[in-house]
Amino acid sequence: MKQILKLWSLNKQNQWILKFGISVLVVGLAFRLLFSQSTTRFEPELEAASSSSYITARTYLPVSPPPASVEMSEPSSDAAVDNLPVPPPAPQPSSSAAAAETSKSTMSIDGRPDPDENEAPDDGKCNLLVGDWVPEPSGPMYTNATCRLIDGHQNCMKNGRPDSGYLYWKWKPRRCELPAFDAQRFLELMRNKVWGLIGDSISRNHVESLLCMLSTVEEAVEVYHDKDYRSKTWSFPSYNFTVANIWAPFLVEAAIFEDYNGVSTSEVQLQLDKLDKSWVDAYPSFDYAIISTGKWFLKAAVYHENNTVVGCHICPAGKNFTETGFVFAYEKALGFAMNSILQSKHKGQIFFRTSTPDHFQDGEWHNGGTCRQTAPVKAGEFELKEVNKILRKVELAEFEKVSAKAAESGVNFKLIDFTNLLLTRPDGHPDAYRNFQPFAKDKNATVQKDCLHWCLPGPIDYLNDVLMEMVVNG
């Protein structure tokens, strides 16, 4: 009897051990299933920089989150989309009455400036920058869900922009075909090369567009940033291809006293005869470079040459300075930068991009200006603002002065003027959706609007289609 009880006890103990083992196995399988379905992505390890890249000469900073004062994207939200919305049926350019500044355009019917702008008439040849926006049912090649490099203020889809029609247009030149951007081919062509995009926040907007398009083939890896996270460099390791975005909003040396919200505590101190070293030191290593500037010259500033004050714009009170206006400084700074490019004898392909138009209506960025369009406007419906005309006139004139010298000296220096391409796209800006879910708590909330930078994805993506065609076919 004792023997039977003993056997029964052992059997019961074995059953308990067996049940415990099965429980552990089930829990383990559950955890494995949970983690195998997780959407968490691990960041790629940083690749060592190519010896051909300028960043090897710089001190690397750890690629870590910027300090709290820096503009950041909001945390992930349900606004991210894995698939694009169904495109709206056969959209047509809008004829919006909301465009307060619309009137007869300075652009002629062929997309070039009117004759009084001293431009040559259309010669009937292919011009990639003369065209129209036409419906594109397939939409953009990336979204905010497939590209993690979009700045928070341009991430319109994530920020809750309710319409999607602005995504379904493409740029079509009138006298030639523009092939769609081919990321795979571009990366192959740029193997072992370095690009530099130099300028202000529009340059940053553009470089993020390019990186997102290229990341459909291989994800860009950030390998450098400066201490303020203004200048950054990315690598595509499989192609040994480097893209650098250098913050140099004036191209010349400047002491700037403002925060990330654009609030200034003093006038900019601008050295009109000294180039900004942040791009000059890197310039010789670039196989391709896009140089741009523009609206920063509208800021209050004191101008220096030979370490002497020579004028100012919106002069400081109590100083016996001469008000010269910003055109004086813009001409001198652009002329100095362009002539320095010629003298460098650098053999890379250099583009100068003209400043881009903004579409603020019923005010400007600081006093309630907005841009509520949801589709391209018709040609002639938006007039280039007077200040944009002035900037562009200076840009074209200064480039004209050096273009003949560039050809003589063998410097490959080209102008790209995207004014016509972007002028009819007031729908492509973030407007209120530069802010994360701006009306989630109050549908009548007053928020900062942005009608200068471009949503990503958005119209600025087509700058890359044009650039690739210019690079491929010269």
Is-contact 274 254, C-beta < 8 A? no
Q: DSSP characters for 22-37? A: HHHHHHHHHHHHHHHT
Stretch (H or E) spanning 245: strand 241-247
How many other CB atoms are found less than 10 A from the CB of residue 270? 27
Supply the pTM of this predicted model: 0.78
Contacts of 377 (CB under 8 A, 6+ apart): 93, 94, 95, 96, 99, 102, 424, 425, 426, 427
What 3-state DSSP class applies to 285? helix
Q: How far apart are CA 166 and CA 459, in angstroms?
A: 8
Ranges of residues in the chain with a pLDDT under 50 are 1-14, 16-18, 24, 26-83, 96-121
HSE-up of 457 (CA within 13 Å, CB side)? 28
Contacts of 307 (CB under 8 A, 6+ apart): none
| Per-residue confidence (pLDDT) for residue 369, from 0 to 100 | 95
Are 34 and 116 in contact, with CB atoms under 8 Å apart?
no
Q: Work out whether the CA dihedral 386, 269, 243, 283 comes out positive or negative.
A: positive
Which of 332, 325, 310 shows the shortest CA–CA distance to 397? Answer: 332
b/e 69-87 (16+ beta carbons within 10 angstroms → b): eeeebeeeeebeeeebeeb
6's enclosing H/E stretch is helix 2-36
Find the helix or strand (DSSP H, E) in which 5 lies.
helix 2-36
CB 254 within 8 A of CB 303: no
* Residues forming the active site: 201, 450, 453
* DSSP secondary structure letter of residue 256: -
Question: Residue 130, SS3?
Answer: coil
CA distances from 216 to 141, 182, 183, 359, 426 (A): 8, 10, 7, 30, 27
Give CA–CA dist 269/320, Å, rounded.
16
Rounded Cα distance between 47 and 27, Å, is 38
3-state helix, strand, coil in the chain (%, to 5): 30, 15, 50
What pLDDT is recorded for position 91?
54
State residue 261's pLDDT score.
Answer: 66
> 370 forms bridges with which residues in the sheet?
361
Q: Residue 130's closest CA among 357, 353, 418?
A: 418
Distance, CA of 222 to CA of 327 (rounded, Å): 37
Burial class (CB in 10 A: 0-12, 13-18, 19+), 390: middle
Can you list the alpha helix ranges (DSSP code H) found in 161-276?
Answer: 183-189, 201-214
